């Protein structure tokens, strides 16, 4: 193995090279030789200045996250940075790629920072349920100001070089060779004689924050308004407040304590699980690195309704040319008009510039003529959810699409293999199940048909990455992973109402758990008519929901559903009429009502879902339990801080879940409670 740390010398400047692929994470294998090297250079009379630079595709992307569950090994990262900061000669970080987390903290331990024009710096620890634990919360406020630092730390979002320069987080952007410029910068500073003030000793911005604490508190309140029950954003704020109010050494000590507390807690374990789960999900059996994706530049979309429009925007936002096809001019104009309206909304909310809006719109064109699809590299069908309609579309696509084009369906429930069989090229057919709104939601279920070719899957994965989606490959079944598990809990939502719960007590149990909304708020938002139609097509009934639909109460869009909505408002207000209707239904069905607590609500909704997840694993519809977590967190609002249903089940105790499923199966006899074989095995192994 090559040395992780080496030195080259130019003009009395030592360049310390870090080389720990793939992202130069600061694991023990890097920290120890770096510490030793810095000690040596500190004492070396021939070294006038030091540059820290990285080999490979990036500067240091952080501490090594995979080490967090293990016993710590000295030297710690704060030790390395303290040593770096004790060096009296100028030190310069030469940043290319990403300087993130501990990587940026290492750079903050240098006197100066120079970045390549396309570099990014940031402190994303909060996204892992942590706070920056190697001085970031104490040093960054000294460099850029407390309120600005808070923005960077609580959002966890990296900033580009230009913004970093404007903030004062870096000293210069290199115009040519990064390391050569960092060396001459360091040389010039050494010749200038100093003093070279470590970031930790710079007090001006802290002084300013101390004199305007009210402004800081206001920023802190706004920054944590969306914390949604997560602890890390609150601790981040506390740490920056400490940086203002405490001595640097005390603030550092407290930062470390809070870091360790968070690192050893459930929230960070869950978020780290998701970090690795999302990266694992793209590793698909039979689709190795040797399988090349086909290039995709021009995307066709059939259907410009709710989904087609959003999907068109997702591809246009990713820089691709898009052709949208509709049945007739009127539907086409309606669809294109909605796209324009959505973009205009983003402009008025300030999340998109007018220039970018025009550029995106210019990439989308509409047609009613299939021959305009003939040079598309990928065509996504998003027409009505009816097999007959899908059949016509795929037969037509088979006629017009060029050889090698990937044909995709956005179907939610239908059999992809049957759809593929409408064409003479089933190996080019794949499911691309987007979630609504498709230009916003990150999840993409990629449905692998029986005959889908590996390079078609590789293309789907690569296209997902290009448009910023989080893909999970799933097999063919009714509802795939997400909707199938959702169906498992749906039946019990209604049963809970009939046995004594109210829509708001069920929803409250969900929001207390951390969901952004409960199932009844969700149905009201999506429209009760959609599930009504689905039930009718399956010959199913739901006494309460059916009655509401018969009254024309379809949810938010009609002002009434499981809740009442004041004119134009989105806030659900409990509706005594609905509660009476539920009680009447209970009487009618001879169901005795009783008090139902939050624990029972969770058991009877979450456990059947987890049980269905186990069946999905058993059938190989999902390759791993962590894939199911990625689906639920990114597509259905499962609280990120709990890691997804399968992770949560493991932490909570699969054996406990098994016992309660058996209990409820005994009480109700319902199939959703019958423990899956995989769940029984997992309970014994305490793992999926
Ligand atoms: N620790 C361990 N492994 C890491 C890692 C890290 N900090 N960052 C990335 N990796 C691994 C990934 O798991 C992946 O491994 P795999 O190939 O075996 O799946 C590999 O490196 C490549 O990562 P990506 O697929 O994510 O590569 P990209 O090029 O798409 O993205 C990146 C690069 C933007 C640097 C991205 O990897 C990233 O965001 N990394 C995490 C950054 C981060 O959160 N840093 C903070 C860590 S916590 C910390 O520093 C605590 C400190 O305050 C004390
Ligand atoms: P929609 O009813 O809003 O839009 C369908 C569009 O397809 C209409 O504009 C219609 O004019 C057009 N269309 C119908 N037949 C056509 C044909 N032969 N050629 C061209 N265009 C045709 O429906 P929505 O909600 O967009 O759903 C589309 C597909 O996406 C369905 O398969 C649905 O199951 C799936 N889906 C829907 C989600 C949702 O939340 N609405 C989520 C994920 C998938």
Distance from C-alpha of 373 to C-alpha of 323, rounded to nearest angstrom: 7
197-234: buried (b, 16+ CB within 10 Å) or exposed (e) per residue?
Answer: ebbbeeeebbeebeeeeeebeebbeebbeebeebbbbe
Exposed, middle or buried by CB within 10 Å (0-12, 13-18, 19+), for 6?
A: middle
pLDDT at position 511 is 95
- Provide mean pLDDT across the span 612-616: 98
Q: Enumerate the H helices of 327-444 as residue ranges.
A: 329-349, 354-363, 387-400, 416-420
Pocket-forming residues, ligand 2, beta carbon under 6 Å = 302-308, 325-327, 331, 335, 382-385, 389, 392-393, 410-412, 434-436
- 561 touches 528 (CB < 8 A): yes
Candidates 39, 67, 85, 125; catalytic one = 125
- Provide mean pLDDT across the span 546-560: 95
- 616 touches 680 (CB < 8 A): no
pLDDT at position 396 is 98
pLDDT at position 11 is 86
Integer CA distances (angstroms), 264 to 70, 72, 267, 269, 514, in order: 10, 12, 9, 7, 20
Distance from C-alpha of 365 to C-alpha of 335, rounded to nearest angstrom: 11
Question: Sign of torsion, CA 646 650 655 660?
Answer: negative
Atom number of ligand 1 nearest to Cα 22:
21
Rounded to the nearest 10 degrees, the angle between the axes of helix 625-635 and helix 266-280 is 100
Atom number of ligand 1 nearest to Cα 98:
35
Which tokens in the block code for residue 326? 């509709």
> What are 10-57's pLDDT values in tens digits?
989 999 999 999 999 999 999 999 999 999 999 999 999 999 999 999
- 561 touches 554 (CB < 8 A): yes
- 26 touches 63 (CB < 8 A): yes
- Provide mean pLDDT across the span 285-306: 96
> What are 118-143's pLDDT values in tens digits?
999 999 999 999 999 999 999 999 99
DSSP 8-state assignment for residue 426: G
The domain ranges of the chain are 5-264, 298-476, 501-588
pLDDT at position 186 is 97
**pLDDT category, 526, cuts 50, 70, 90?**
confident
Rounded to the nearest 10 degrees, the angle between the axes of helix 543-550 and helix 482-499 is 90
Integer CA distances (angstroms), 127 to 66, 149, 239, in order: 15, 16, 16
298-476 is classed CATH 3.40.50.920: no
Question: Annotated catalytic, 125?
Answer: yes
Name the fold adopted by 5-264.
2-enoyl-CoA Hydratase; Chain A, domain 1 (3.90.226)
Question: Annotated catalytic, 175?
Answer: no
- Provide mean pLDDT across the span 199-208: 96
Residue that the structure tokens 């609580």 belong to: 154
pLDDT at position 569 is 85
**Is the predicted pLDDT of residue 229 greater than 90, yes or no?**
no
**pLDDT category, 165, cuts 50, 70, 90?**
very high
Computed on alpha carbons and rounded to an integer, the radius of gyration of the chain in Å comes to 28
The class that CATH gives domain 501-588 is mainly alpha
pLDDT at position 227 is 83
Pocket-forming residues, ligand 1, beta carbon under 6 Å = 22-23, 25, 58, 61-66, 77, 98, 100-102, 105, 124-125, 128, 130, 132-134, 136, 276, 279
> What are 567-584's pLDDT values in tens digits?
878 899 999 999 999 999
The model's pTM is 0.95
Q: Which ligand is nearest to the CA of 435?
A: 2
pLDDT at position 1 is 55
CA of 280 to the centre of ligand 1 (A): 12
- Provide mean pLDDT across the span 390-404: 98
Distance from C-alpha of 685 to C-alpha of 688, rounded to nearest angstrom: 8
What is the overall mean pLDDT for the chain? 96
Our measurement of the distance from residue 497's CA atom to the centroid of its chain's CA atoms, rounded to an integer in Å, reads 33
Our measurement of the distance from residue 569's CA atom to the centroid of its chain's CA atoms, rounded to an integer in Å, reads 28
Exposed, middle or buried by CB within 10 Å (0-12, 13-18, 19+), for 80?
A: buried
């Amino acid at each position: 193995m090559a040395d992780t740390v080496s030195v080259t010398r130019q003009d009395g400047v030592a360049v310390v090279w870090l080389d720990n692929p793939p992202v130069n994470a600061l694991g023990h294998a890097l920290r120890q030789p770096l510490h030793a090297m810095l000690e040596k250079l500190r004492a070396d009379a021939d070294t006038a200045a030091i540059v820290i630079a990285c080999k490979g595709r990036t500067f240091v992307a952080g501490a090594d996250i995979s080490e967090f569950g293990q016993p710590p090994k000295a030297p710690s990262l704060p030790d390395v940075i303290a040593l770096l900061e004790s060096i009296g000669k100028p030190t310069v970080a030469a940043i290319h790629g990403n300087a993130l987390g501990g990587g940026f903290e290492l750079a903050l331990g240098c006197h100066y920072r120079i970045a390549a024009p396309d570099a990014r710096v940031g402190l994303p620890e909060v996204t892992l349920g942590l706070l920056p634990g190697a001085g970031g919360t104490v040093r960054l406020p000294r460099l850029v100001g407390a309120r600005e630092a808070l923005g960077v730390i609580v959002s966890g979002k990296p900033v580009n070089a230009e913004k970093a320069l404007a903030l004062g987080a870096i000293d210069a952007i290199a115009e040519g060779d990064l390391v050569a410029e960092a060396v001459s910068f360091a040389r010039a500073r050494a010749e200038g004689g100093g003093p070279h003030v470590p970031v930790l000793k710079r007090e001006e911005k802290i002084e300013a924050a101390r004199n305007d604490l009210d402004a800081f508190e206001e920023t802190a309140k706004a920054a944590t308004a969306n914390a949604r029950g997560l602890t890390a954003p609150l601790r981040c704020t506390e740490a920056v407040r400490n940086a203002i109010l405490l001595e640097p050494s005390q603030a550092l000590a407290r930062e470390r304590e809070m870091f360790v507390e968070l690192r050893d807690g459930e929230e960070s374990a869950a978020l780290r699980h998701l970090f690795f789960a999302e990266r694992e999900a793209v590793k698909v059996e039979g689709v190795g690195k040797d399988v090349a994706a086909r290039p995709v530049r021009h995307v066709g979309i059939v259907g410009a309704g709710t989904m087609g429009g959003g999907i068109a925007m997702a591809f246009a936002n990713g820089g691709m040319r898009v052709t949208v096809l509709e049945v007739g001019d009127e539907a086409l104009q309606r669809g294109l008009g909605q796209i324009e309206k959505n973009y205009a909304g983003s402009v008025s909310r300030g999340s998109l510039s007018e220039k970018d809006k025009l550029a995106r719109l210019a990439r989308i064109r509409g047609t009613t003529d299939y021959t305009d699809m003939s040079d598309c590299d990928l065509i996504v069908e998003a027409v009505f959810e009816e097999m007959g309609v899908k059949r016509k579309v795929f037969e037509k696509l088979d006629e017009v699409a060029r050889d090698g084009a990937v044909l995709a369906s956005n179907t939610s429930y239908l059999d992809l293999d049957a759809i593929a069989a409408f064409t003479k090229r089933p190996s080019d057919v794949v499911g691309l199940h987007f979630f609504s709104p498709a230009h916003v939601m990150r999840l993409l279920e990629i449905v692998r048909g029986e005959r889908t070719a590996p390079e078609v899957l590789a293309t789907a994965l690569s296209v997902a990455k290009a448009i910023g989606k989080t893909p999970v490959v799933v097999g063919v079944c009714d509802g795939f992973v997400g909707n199938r598990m959702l169906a498992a809990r749906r039946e019990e939502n209604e049963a809970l109402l009939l046995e004594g719960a109210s829509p708001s007590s069920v929803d409250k149990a969900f929001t207390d758990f951390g969901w952004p909304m409960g199932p009844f708020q969700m149905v009201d938002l999506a429209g009760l008519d959609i599930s009504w139609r689905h039930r009718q097509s399956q010959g199913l009934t739901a006494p309460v929901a059916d009655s509401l639909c018969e009254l024309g109460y379809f949810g938010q869009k009609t002002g009434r559903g499981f809740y009442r909505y004041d004119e134009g408002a989105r806030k659900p207000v409990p509706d005594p009429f609905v509660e009476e209707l539920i009680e009447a239904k209970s009487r009618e069905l001879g169901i005795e009502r009783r008090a139902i607590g939050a624990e029972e609500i969770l058991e009877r909704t979450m456990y059947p879902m987890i049980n269905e997840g186990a069946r999905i694993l058993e059938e190989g519809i999902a390759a791993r339990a962590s894939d199911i977590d990625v689906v639920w967190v990114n597509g259905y609002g499962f609280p990120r801080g709990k890691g997804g249903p399968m992770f949560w089940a493991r932490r909570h105790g699969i054996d406990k879940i098994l016992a309660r499923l058996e209990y409820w199966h005994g009480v109700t006899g319902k199939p959703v409670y019958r423990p899956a074989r995989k769940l029984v095995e997992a309970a014994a192994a305490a793992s999926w």
